């Protein structure tokens, strides 16, 4: 059957994957403080290293409980955070009431105007997405960003514990870590300007538009 309305087609695509992510992260929100304890100082250190001008606005996609958004806000950036998990957002709003958090499914990123934020960031989103959804998300992040796309995620295998957690989240982590990031970003019209380790298995990639 032919899809007549492209918006409807877009919202149906990846529906199962998005529903699963919502359920998984609503449940995981209870233990997320443990993950925050690991990630929060790493985000703060990485932003300190990058030292991006604080007047640049930020859209943090898949913001979760808001720790990357808060690391930006703590440096003086105006930040908006988007996520589809109500429970993660509830925690984000409680912890960081001054930040603008919105319930938003990333399948709707095409509705956000091109170049409307200086920086578009995401922390530990991409490894959980299927290759095709990931491609769409990275392309839209590149389109929405006026200057930079900043990605934090796994750069290599994190060992048995990470493998176990990611196996529960879904099937996409092994393929993600096996895919070269430079090729993936280049496919979205991005060049890696800086990249560095944030932990034994995590990386930051600061990308600019080609």
Ligand X SMILES: C[S@@+](CC[C@H](N)C(=O)[O-])C[C@H]1O[C@@H](n2cnc3c(N)ncnc32)[C@H](O)[C@@H]1O
Sites for ligand X among residues 15-74 (CB under 6 A): 18, 21, 25, 39, 62-64, 67-68
Report the greatest alpha carbon distance in the chain. Answer: 51
- Residue 69: CB minimum distance to ligand X, A: 8
Segment lying near ligand X (by CB under 6 A), choices 4-12, 44-52, 83-91, 177-185: 83-91
Q: Which of 47, 106, 138, 162 binds ligand X (CB under 6 A)?
A: 106
- Residue 24: CB minimum distance to ligand X, A: 8
Tokens 């440096």 locate to: 75
Instruction: Determine the Cα–Cα distance for residues 11 and 144; give it in Å rounded to an integer.
Output: 19
Q: Does 202 bind ligand X (CB under 6 A)?
A: no
Q: Which of 70, 72, 77, 83 binds ligand X (CB under 6 A)?
A: 83
Q: Does 140 bind ligand X (CB under 6 A)?
A: no
Instruction: Determine the Cα–Cα distance for residues 176 and 155; give it in Å rounded to an integer.
Output: 9
- Residue 160: CB minimum distance to ligand X, A: 18
What is the size of the binding site for ligand X (CB under 6 A)? 19
- Residue 10: CB minimum distance to ligand X, A: 12
- Residue 2: CB minimum distance to ligand X, A: 25
* Beta pairing class for 58-61 and 202-209: unpaired
Segment lying near ligand X (by CB under 6 A), choices 44-52, 118-126, 156-164, 190-198: 118-126
Residues in the site for ligand X, rule: CB under 6 A? 18, 21, 25, 39, 62-64, 67-68, 83-85, 88, 105-107, 123-125
């Amino acid at each position: 059957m032919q899809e007549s309305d492209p918006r409807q087609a877009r919202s149906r695509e990846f529906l199962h994957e998005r529903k699963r992510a919502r359920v998984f992260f609503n449940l995981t929100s209870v233990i997320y403080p443990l993950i925050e304890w690991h990630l929060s100082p790493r985000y703060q250190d990485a932003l300190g290293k990058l030292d991006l001008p604080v007047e640049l606005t930020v859209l943090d996609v898949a913001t979760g409980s808001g720790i990357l958004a808060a690391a930006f806000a703590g440096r003086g950036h105006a930040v908006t955070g988007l996520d589809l998990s109500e429970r993660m957002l509830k925690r984000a709003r409680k912890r960081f009431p001054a930040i603008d958090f919105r319930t938003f499914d990333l399948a709707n990123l095409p509705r956000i105007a091109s170049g409307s934020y200086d920086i578009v960031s995401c922390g530990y989103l991409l490894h959980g997405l299927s290759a095709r959804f990931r491609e769409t998300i990275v392309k839209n992040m590149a389109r929405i960003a006026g200057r930079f796309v900043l990605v934090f995620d796994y750069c290599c295998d994190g060992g048995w514990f990470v493998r176990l957690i990611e196996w529960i989240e879904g099937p996409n982590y092994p393929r993600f870590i096996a895919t070269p990031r430079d090729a993936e970003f280049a496919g979205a019209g991005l060049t890696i300007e800086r990249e560095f380790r944030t932990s034994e298995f995590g990386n930051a990639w600061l990308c600019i538009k080609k």
